[in-house]
Amino acid sequence: MPELPEVETTRRGIAPYAEGRRVEALLVREPRLRWPVPEALPANLRGQRIERIERRAKYLLFHTAAGTLLVHLGMSGSLRVLRGAAPPPKRHDHIDVLLSGGDTLRFNDPRRFGCFLWLPSGESHPLLEHLGPEPLSPDFDGELLYRRSRGRRGPVKSFLMDGRIVVGVGNIYANEALHLAGIRPDRSAGRIARARYEVLAERVKQVLTSAIDQGGTTLRDFVGGDGKPGYFAQQLYVYGRAGQPCKTCGAPLRERHLAQRSTVYCVTCQR
């Protein structure tokens, strides 16, 4: 599913075409997403100027004077810019946001696990409450990980992927960051020293920044807001490489499942 780098790539791709534009209309062809598209959403958005587009965790927030459009790409969704007259919709093209100037934002979601929800101005939303800090912000560091991990017996990988601890570190990037930090993903979170968490926090920032610079990771059908795939998959050290040689030491990479997620690691480099 699209993770933080893919969502940030989408935000950067659509922001230049959408920010400052007014919503002429919202065309909803299929309202049955993860949560039903509110019936009032087209009326809420019509005529509103998109002041800015922000990302919070894996959510895209389209801020207007009247409120905020909250968008999640789900497991297979994409939000793309179509310049000028939009071509006829294809299968799974569920929603179009028609913008002033003639451009369109088109939402495609084969599995329908995404969402388009409305947040009135001045109100909070349950989906955004209790989220941890952004991993690329100054609020996220090794001291935070060390402090929040004390007393936890579960695997450090599951701890790192907990959105209440830090947002947006999904399965792909947790695998990669733990490998680069030399930490086994099944180690108990509460038994890892402060110094190692300081390294891990830096590797999380490194991996996410690199993935964003490369436009995300295309594993199945993700494309950015400009319709182009991401290329970070070419730089993966462990994810999806079970049984292949470790790029660092040459030992065969092992795979196991933690919290029902594929976890690949090197028994030599990670401890």
Instruction: Show binding-site residues for DNA.
Output: 92, 111, 152
Active-site position among 2, 5, 135, 185: 2
Active site residue 58: yes
Q: Identify the CA nearest to 69 among candidates 94, 46, 103.
A: 46
Write the burial class of residue 83 (CB in 10 Å: 0-12 exposed, 13-18 middle, 19+ buried): exposed
Annotated binding site: 92, 111, 152
Distance CA 75, CA 223 (A): 13
Distance CA 60, CA 53 (A): 7
Active-site position among 11, 21, 58, 184: 58
- Token representation of residue 156: 């450090």
For 78, the enclosing helix (H) or strand (E) is: strand 78-82
Given a contact cutoff of 8 angstroms between Cβ atoms, the answer to whether 79 and 58 are in contact is no
Distance CA 79, CA 13 (A): 9
Active site residue 157: no
Active site residue 261: yes
Residues facing residue 81 across a β-bridge: 105
Active site residues: 2-3, 58, 261
